[in-house]
């Protein structure tokens, strides 16, 4: 483009050479029809435009290369997936372990559970869900089959006596994690809940323990629940 601008300038200069004519026997020179300064400015503008065009050409070339690479990657992905990306994503989701359960104390009936002379795991017999089969309703114990981070929640309703006498604790491998307690005052029909996020190794056990000499009340409205699920494997 710079070369083109220079050629245009040279042409204009040539065409603007002074011309000599005679009138009344005297020679005079016509003024040039072109302004050299204007031509110089035009040449400079043409040079700047040439640089911009060259930059844009490089940019377009870069984008074309990037588009070609993207199209190539799409074709490779289609070849790997047989053209069905949705099935691949579905397969990936299904490969992620799924663990979740939720249960309540009673399948039927009403009344207090307990007291026992020693701390005792509560058996949540009515199972709402048990994906992964890690919860055992016969023992009330959840046993981890996958190493990972888990969420657990449990709720408790106190006994319906004039003086409450209820307490439960969430336990991991014999260690207390959190508790719900109501054993003072003169009210009844109270409920409480608690929750934790903990890491488990394969074989770790988690359960809700009824504190020694305490009771909980439940009926078909199912106030006492024990639930948990895997957040993500580790």
Statement: residue 26 has pLDDT above 60? no
Cα(100)–Cα(142) distance, integer angstroms: 10
Residue 135 in contact with residue 183, Cβ under 8 Å?
A: no
Residue 71 in contact with residue 64, Cβ under 8 Å?
A: no
Statement: residue 84 has pLDDT above 80? no
Statement: residue 141 has pLDDT above 90? yes
Cα(109)–Cα(113) distance, integer angstroms: 11
Of 12-26, 69-83, 89-103, 217-231, minimum mean pLDDT range: 12-26
Residue 132 in contact with residue 101, Cβ under 8 Å?
A: yes
Task: State what percent of residues in the chain have pLDDT above 90.
Answer: 44
Cα(103)–Cα(218) distance, integer angstroms: 13
The answer to pTM > 0.75 is: no
Confidence of residue 9 (pLDDT cuts 50, 70, 90): very low
Confidence of residue 72 (pLDDT cuts 50, 70, 90): confident
Instruction: Express each pLDDT in 91-100 by its tens digit.
Output: 666 678 899 9
Task: State what percent of residues in the chain have pLDDT above 70.
Answer: 74
Q: What pLDDT, on a 0 to 100 scale, did the predictor assign at position 20?
A: 45
Give phi and psi for 43, each to the nearest 5. -60, -40
Instruction: Express each pLDDT in 182-206 by its tens digit.
Output: 876 666 677 899 999 999 999 999 9
Statement: residue 39 has pLDDT above 80? no
Measured CA to CA in angstroms, residue 102 lies from 122, 130, 167, 220 at distances of: 14, 7, 20, 16
Q: Which structure tokens are listed for 154?
A: 């449990």
Q: What is the DSSP letter of 40?
A: H
Which class is domain 97-233? Answer: mainly beta
Mean pLDDT, residues 109-127 taken together: 94
Q: What pLDDT, on a 0 to 100 scale, did the predictor assign at position 190?
A: 79
Statement: residue 24 has pLDDT above 80? no
Domain spans, the chain: 2-91, 97-233
Cα(19)–Cα(24) distance, integer angstroms: 17
Q: What pLDDT, on a 0 to 100 scale, did the predictor assign at position 17?
A: 45
Instruction: Express each pLDDT in 123-134 by its tens digit.
Output: 999 999 999 999
The total of other beta-carbon atoms located within 10 Å of residue 159's CB is: 23
Cα(88)–Cα(97) distance, integer angstroms: 16
Statement: residue 34 has pLDDT above 60? no
């Amino acid at each position: 483009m710079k070369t083109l601008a220079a050629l245009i300038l040279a042409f204009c200069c040539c065409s603007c050479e002074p011309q000599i004519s005679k009138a009344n026997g005297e020679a005079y020179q016509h003024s040039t029809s072109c302004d050299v300064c204007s031509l110089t400015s035009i040449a400079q503008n043409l040079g700047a435009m040439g640089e911009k065009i060259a930059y844009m050409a490089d940019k377009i070339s870069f984008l074309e290369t990037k588009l070609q690479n993207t199209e190539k990657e799409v074709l490779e992905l289609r070849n790997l997936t047989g053209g069905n990306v949705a099935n691949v994503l579905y397969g990936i989701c299904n490969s992620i372990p799924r663990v979740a359960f939720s249960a309540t104390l009673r399948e039927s009936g009403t009344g207090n559970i307990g007291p026992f002379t020693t701390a005792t795991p509560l058996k949540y017999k009515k199972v709402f869900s048990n994906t992964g089969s890690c919860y055992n309703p016969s023992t009330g114990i959840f046993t981890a089959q996958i190493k990972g981070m888990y969420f657990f929640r449990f709720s408790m309703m106190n006994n319906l006596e004039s003086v409450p006498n209820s307490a439960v604790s969430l336990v991991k491998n014999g260690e207390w994690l959190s508790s719900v307690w109501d054993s003072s005052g003169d009210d009844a029909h109270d409920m409480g809940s608690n929750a934790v996020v903990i890491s488990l190794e394969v074989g770790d056990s988690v359960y809700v323990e009824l504190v020694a000499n305490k009771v909980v009340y439940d009926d078909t409205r199912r106030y006492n629940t024990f639930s948990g699920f895997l957040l993500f494997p580790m």
